[in-house]
Amino acid sequence: MRLLLPVLLLGVAGISQVYSVSPASPATAGDGGGACKNFSQVTQELWTNDLDRLSADDVIVNYQAQLSDRGNIQDGSPQRFFSYVNESRLTSPVYASFLPLLDNYNPVKNVAEVVTAEKLAEEDHFLDVIFATPVWQSVYEYLVCEGKVQDQAGLRTLFKRLWFDLYPRSGKSTILDTSGFEHVMVGEFKSLGSVNGMHNWLAFYEKEKRPAEPNINYYGHTCDVHPDTMCAAFDWDGRKKRLSSFLLNVSPAYDLAVYSLCFVMHRGTCNVIVDGQQKIIRTYSKEGHIATAFIVA
């Protein structure tokens, strides 16, 4: 007889939910009683453990025009933001399993996403890969200690609920047209004239390097230059976004790890340590899913 244990997922849809999963790890769940690592310490640990992060030599950027974050936005940068990316680094398992997910979504609002067996298999493979990284081992150990999940199966259930489960972007709609992953890691269209989400540097790069629409046309940056963060103004397929903030050079495993921790532990404004410096991440919920998550650049 297979023993099933309840896993308590706190803060999902405003209530506690219990999922039945089979024990898959010798880790012991805690109750957040004070023996766990400090949250800031864990976020710095994520940065240190991101072995797939690209170096400054692997990624060369061209900031060009600094634009106002108010008023109409115009193209002030004739060249691309990403001048060079060492694509040989993108063949590692984390990147190789992430890139196929970028074309799994329709960015148009109020158009239902199509779920296929192939897409689900790609998602599962990606989770297999990132959960084996040191970054996600840190996430797992911390969430177990805090009593948020009980084992690896519970972590997978939580991740899918927050990131991959579909929900309606519009408040009154019943059309399952978005997910936390699509909004944050891929980007989508808010309306005929504007872009929503896209808080991942690799998604930006992949769209910008296309030779023609629906590519990204980089307009300029709307915050001060910093080696780890960026806030870009751009046009994507005729739709504009004034400010899209993202962390530079980090692996998708890191992005999803730090956003997930903030959503579960400190939803709203979340203080984290990025490369030894304090930063703020903001996360918001929609029907218990991640509505958005981004770095305040």
d(CA 78, CA 75): 8
What six digits make up the tokens of 122? 């790609």
Task: Write down the catalytic residue from 199, 221, 240, 289.
Answer: 199
- Active site (annotated) includes residue 241: yes
* 283, 259 contact by CB (below 8 A): yes
- Active site (annotated) includes residue 172: no
d(CA 282, CA 295): 7
Q: What's the alpha-carbon Rg for the chain, to the nearest Å?
A: 19
DSSP conformation class of 53: P
d(CA 164, CA 186): 12
d(CA 109, CA 195): 10
Residue type for position 232: A
Task: Write down the catalytic residue from 148, 221, 241, 279.
Answer: 241
d(CA 52, CA 112): 33
The closest alpha carbon to 266, from 249, 254, 248, 284, belongs to 284
Task: Write down the catalytic residue from 109, 183, 207, 279.
Answer: 183
d(CA 270, CA 44): 13
- Active site (annotated) includes residue 221: no
Q: Which conformational region is residue 141 in: left (phi greater than 0), alpha (psi within -120 to 50 degrees), or beta? A: alpha
Helix, strand, coil % over all residues of the chain, rounded to 5 = 30, 25, 40
Point out the residues that are catalytic.
Answer: 183, 199, 241
